[in-house]
Amino acid sequence: MKAVTVVPLMKDSLALREMPKPSLGKGQVLLEPIEVGVCGTDKDIIEGKYGAAPPGEEYLILGHEAVAAVAELGDGVDNVSVGDIVVPTVRRPTTCTLPITELDYCPRGTYAEHGIWYLHGFAAEYAVSDARFLVKVPKEIVDVAVLTEPLSIVEKGIKLALELGKARFSSWSPRKVLIMGAGPIGMLALMIMRLRGFTDVTITATRPYDSPKAKLAKEIGAKYVNVNVDQLSDEFDIVIEATGSSSAAYEALRHLSADGVAVLLGIYLDSKVVNMAPLLDDWRRNKLIIGATNASIGSFQDGVADLVKAKFEFGGWVRKLITKEVPLDEYEYAYYWGHDDIKSVIQIRSL
């Protein structure tokens, strides 16, 4: 079978290779991936920053964001059927003993992750997953279900923000929301905040005011600010940082109001020395900072449910977040996207 692979920790080893079709074990399912999303994690792995192949193997198949069809069932599988459309979660416990609903809190070194650490991903003609880590997808959202994995992280972060913010004092009533970054995480965060009933939402990026990202944000009622032209001066009750830049994370805290909650959704590999003095005021003003970079199966289920709601509420808007689709044989183009792109996907089979 064809698969998009790398040699982990070897920069620029990305290649489409013939790999053996995976065999099924007990409790496993053979998947036929339909679409696989590409994100910054994939780019980091391609650049040799991290990643690990399955034990005893040289190559790692990429792809941790996927929607797939169930092709074959292993022994003991009774939660899905052949032909079901599913989204696989990413993390699998190795020595972690936490329940399936809490695997996002496993200590490092106690788990594997499809397409990242020690498990092949889904950017291939066939893939295997343990059946209990699959989330069924209604057929009406199959065209946007590839967004479920990044959406799961957004779901977790926003749920924590609202629950923990309210847990501090019951009268907390956030109104103003700032989202920093108009990539896939930022746009999905905008979608969720609008579904949650927030009407005063500002999203920032560096694209012009007439850019596709600006138009998409305004299409569902957000205010768009091009920070290359205009600077923010307001404070916000909830600030969601979705750029992955440590500088932006620092700015996010500066825009947080008293009693506010900051949600950091990036992976901050760029190091930066900052002056902590202005941030010391955060503690005196009862600010809360939380982070999320992965999610459990419950957040995936929430994501699927919200994609159904979003298609009803916003129509074709959700599908517009997928700005680049390439066939498997042209996989390289999926890993290079422009400033106006949001989500890039590899289409392995027709929708």
> How are beta strands 256-264 and 2-6 bridged, if at all?
unpaired
Q: Give the pLDDT score at 272.
A: 64
CB 114 within 8 Å of CB 120: yes
Percent of the chain exceeding pLDDT 90 equals: 89
| CATH assignment at residue 121 | 3.90.180.10
Residues 12 and 62 in one domain: yes
**184-193: pLDDT as tens digits:** 999 999 999 9
Domain ends where: 274, 291, 308?
291
Q: Give the pLDDT score at 246.
A: 82
Domain ends where: 266, 291, 316?
291
DSSP 144: T
Would you say how long the chain is, in residues? 351
Beta bridge pairs of residue 17: 3
Joined together, the tokens standing for residue 163 give: 């629950």
Q: Give the pLDDT score at 250.
A: 83
What pLDDT band is residue 277 in, cutting at 50, 70 and 90? low
Give the chain's domain count. 2
Residues 104 and 21 in one domain: yes
Parent domain of 41 = 2-150+294-347
**332-349: pLDDT as tens digits:** 999 998 999 999 999 999
Q: Give the pLDDT score at 274.
A: 66
Domain ends where: 275, 291, 307?
291
Q: Which residue has better confidence, 252 or 274?
A: 252
Q: Give the pLDDT score at 253.
A: 85
Looking at every residue in the chain, the average pLDDT score rounds to 95
Q: Give the pLDDT score at 254.
A: 87
Residues 292-319 have a mean pLDDT of 97
Using only C-alpha atoms, the chain has a radius of gyration, in whole angstroms, of 20
Residues 158 and 136 in one domain: no
Strands (E), 40-196: 60-61, 65-73, 85-88, 91-93, 111-114, 118-119, 127-130, 134-136, 176-180
What pLDDT band is residue 249 in, cutting at 50, 70 and 90? confident
Q: Give the pLDDT score at 223.
A: 98
CB 37 within 8 Å of CB 149: yes
Residues 105-127 have a mean pLDDT of 98
What pLDDT band is residue 282 in, cutting at 50, 70 and 90? low
Rounded to whole angstroms, the Cα distance separating 67 from 146 reads 5
Residues 157 and 272 in one domain: yes
**150-166: pLDDT as tens digits:** 999 999 999 999 999 99
**98-111: pLDDT as tens digits:** 999 999 999 999 99
CB 14 within 8 Å of CB 42: no
Indicate whether 245 pLDDT > 90.
no
Indicate whether 23 pLDDT > 70.
yes
Residues 139 and 165 in one domain: no
Rounded to whole angstroms, the Cα distance separating 320 from 330 reads 21
Residues 67 and 175 in one domain: no
- For the ranges 40-49, 140-149, 222-231, 262-271, the lowest mean pLDDT is seen at 262-271
| CATH assignment at residue 179 | 3.40.50.720
Rounded to whole angstroms, the Cα distance separating 3 from 18 reads 6
Indicate the helix (H) or strand (E) that contains 252: helix 246-254
What pLDDT band is residue 278 in, cutting at 50, 70 and 90? low
Helices and strands: H and E segment counts in the chain: 7, 19
Of 130, 129, 3, 105, nearest in space to 57 by CA? 3
Q: Give the pLDDT score at 32.
A: 99
Question: Please, how many CA atoms are within 13 Å of residue 318, restricted to the half-sphere of its CB?
Answer: 28
Rounded to whole angstroms, the Cα distance separating 220 from 217 reads 6
Joined together, the tokens standing for residue 100 give: 């399936």
Question: Please, how many CA atoms are within 13 Å of residue 19, restricted to the half-sphere of its CB?
Answer: 25
Indicate whether 29 pLDDT > 70.
yes
